A = this chain, B = another copy of it.
Amino acid sequence: MDETTRIALLARVLGDGAPAAGVEVGIGDDAAVLEAPRPGSRLVWTIDEQVEGVHFRRELLAWRDVGWRSFMAAASDVAAMGASPWCALCAMVLPGDVDGAVLREIALGQREAADAVRAPVVGGNLSRGPAVSLATTLLGTCERAVERRGAEPGDGVWLAGRVGLAAAGFAALARAREGGREARGAQAATDAMPPALCEAVDAWRRPRALVAEGRAMGAVARAAVDVSDGLARDAGHLAEASGVRVVLDESALRSDAALIAAAGALGADPLELALHGGEDYALVAASRAPIPGFRRIGEVREGRGLALRDGAGERSIEPRGFDHFAT
């Protein structure tokens, strides 16, 4: 299958359907053309890239999930700024052994994710390379963008979505794989799992960018970040950018029944998963007022760094989330 045929396949899967508002030229030209959004609004713009062997392994994910996750990771960045996804470009690097059927599955996953957040793919790029790599750039719009900086002492720390569950799902899949059960394709690995782990696996395979929660947050939050690399690491980014100390309540991080059940099935500590497990794409915000769809998990104080408190007192915690180049 040559490049032209592949591009035609992608255009059919990704470009089919009604054009999005404001999109004048979509897939098939040198670049996409968009109408300028309403005066006074903000464009929020991100790029994320997911690489085979680093962000995913073929034996743990269906190709459709690979496409979905790569798109959602970018959509989550836009949600974390309080913006609504508008449209996307997807650049794919594919080894020669990725055939048309696989390409179609990847594109279908991207398309499902694009439909879920209502941000169609309007262009992209296709290249050969040594491993599958999917770069997604997404534009969103909002009236007011919520940055990482801006949290103030006295603000509450608020969480939308879950933390730790995706990491539990990844661990469960990796163990099933080590145990010899073939995890590729749909259900082979999860059939033998307890329901608590199936929910966790689903959280890892099919994360959802919290777009509605992000929009709700945009009206009131002073600062926000999405949790891609672990709560401790990402809340630490917010603390550092804002020049404040973030203190998390241990009890609030131990209250998710699904996480407790999954951790129990794995023999893991739910608090460890909640603090250091990534890829849930939850949102963390600092706000004086409650935010619809969020629950309170701590508070902002004067100082620096990140801490955890329980009935007995408070202790500093160090981020241990994912680092691409940790030595």
Q: How many copies make up the complex?
A: 2
CB distance A3 to B323 under 8 Å? yes
**A219 proximal to B (CB < 8 A):** no
**A179 proximal to B (CB < 8 A):** no
1/0 per residue, CB under 8 A from B, across A308-326: the answer is 0000000000000001111
With known contacts A36-B40, A81-B31, A96-B325, A127–B45 Cβ distance under 8 A: no
Q: Which residues of B lie under 8 Å from residue A30 when comparing CB positions?
A: 46, 77-78, 80-81, 148, 225-226
**A61 proximal to B (CB < 8 A):** no
What is the bound-complex CA distance between A44 and B45, given in angstroms? 14
Shortest CB–CB separation between residue A224 and chain B, in angstroms?
8
CB distance B325 to A6 under 8 Å? yes
CB distance B33 to A36 under 8 Å? no
With an 8 Å Cβ cutoff, the count of chain A residues facing the other chain is: 72
Q: Which residues of B lie under 8 Å from residue A267 when comparing CB positions?
A: none
Within 8 A of B (CB), among A85-106: 89-91, 93-94, 96
Q: Which residues of B lie under 8 Å from residue A89 when comparing CB positions?
A: 45-47, 137
What is the bound-complex CA distance between A197 and B158, given in angstroms? 62
CB distance B324 to A127 under 8 Å? yes
**A139 proximal to B (CB < 8 A):** yes
1/0 per residue, CB under 8 A from B, across A93-125: the answer is 110100000000000000000000000001111
CB distance B323 to A2 under 8 Å? yes
Which of these, B91, B140, B324, contacts A48 with CB under 8 Å? B91
What is the bound-complex CA distance between A224 and B37, given in angstroms? 25
Within 8 A of B (CB), among A219-233: 225-226
Q: Which residues of B lie under 8 Å from residue A48 when comparing CB positions?
A: 91, 125
The 6 residue pairs across chains A and B that have the minimum distance between CB atoms:
A31-B46, A34-B43, A51-B129, A137-B137, A135-B135, A128-B324
Q: Mark A residues whose CB is within 8 Å of B.
A: 1-4, 6, 24-25, 28-51, 53-55, 77-78, 80-81, 83, 89-91, 93-94, 96, 122-131, 133, 135, 137, 139-141, 145, 147-148, 225-226, 241, 323-327
